Amino acid sequence: MSEKAKVCIIATGGTIASVTDEKTRSLRPGLSVKELLSTLPKGMSDVEVVHRDLFQMDSANLQPHHWQEISEEILRVSEEIPDLTGIVVTHGTDTMVYSASAVSFMIQDFGKPIVFTGSQISATVPWSDGPRNLLDAIRVAAFADLGETCIVFNGEIHRATRTKKTRSNTYDAFDTMDPQPLGVIARDIVLYEGRKRRHNLVPRFDTRLDDSVFLLKVFPGIPPKILNRIVDLGFHGIIVEGYGEGSLPSEENPLTGGISQAISLGCFVVVSSQCTFGQADLSVYEVGRAAMEAGAMGAHDMTSEASFVKLAWVLGHTRDPDQVRKMMMTNYVGEVIYRIEDEK
What string of DSSP letters covers 234-258?
T-SEEEEEEBTTTB---SSS-SHHH
Q: State the Cα–Cα distance between residues 203 and 111, nearest whole angstrom.
A: 7
Cα angle 91-274-238, degrees, rounded to a multiple of 5: 80
3-state secondary structure 179-203: CCCCEEECCCEEECCCCCCCCCCCC
Q: How far is CA 83 from the centre of its chain?
A: 26
Q: Would you name the residues annotated as active-site residues?
A: 15, 93-94, 165
CB 298 within 8 A of CB 338: no
At 220, which helix (H) or strand (E)? none
Q: State the Cα–Cα distance between residues 133 and 123, nearest whole angstrom.
A: 10
**R_g of the chain, CA atoms, integer Å:** 21
Q: How far is CA 165 from the centre of its chain?
A: 10
What amino acid occupies position 221? G
Cα angle 86-74-154, degrees, rounded to a multiple of 5: 50
Query: Which CA distances in Å does 268 have to 16, 271, 335, 336, 343?
Result: 37, 10, 19, 19, 16
Instruction: For residue 299, give the 3-state DSSP assignment.
Output: coil
Longest dimension (CA), the chain: 66
